[in-house]
Amino acid sequence: MAMAGNTILVAAAALGLTTAVAAAAPRHLDTIERECGRRLHLPGPGCTCLRERAAKLKDGQQAFVAAVVVKDKAAQARLRQGMTVQELTEAGMFMTNAPGQCARR
């Protein structure tokens, strides 16, 4: 019975972690959409487009893009530490291409 209780606790902890990670992404997407008009000078539909495209990135990449949009250098440096070269490259290419593509909407 003790083993079953430990399994339940481990499963609950894992579920809580998964929920916390999943909850982080919408917050970063909200930041990207909310700040893009002011910081990137995109119109409303362009900001919606940017959010939709950013939703295809991994959570860490979304957080990094949000930090770039709001120009939070400390967050960028911290997030960079947990990202692979490929993830950083993809996030960088996103910021190079997506705002211009979304501005045309």
Please report, in tens digits, the pLDDT of each residue of the chain (105 residues total): 444 443 333 333 333 333 333 344 689 999 999 999 999 999 999 999 999 999 999 999 999 999 999 999 999 999 999 999 999 999 999 999 999 999 987
pTM attached to this predicted model: 0.75
In this structure, what token pair is assigned to residue 35? 């700040």
| Residue 53 · residue 94 · CB < 8 Å | yes
Angle at 42 between CA 38 and CA 44, to 5 degrees: 95
Give the H/E segment covering residue 93: helix 85-103
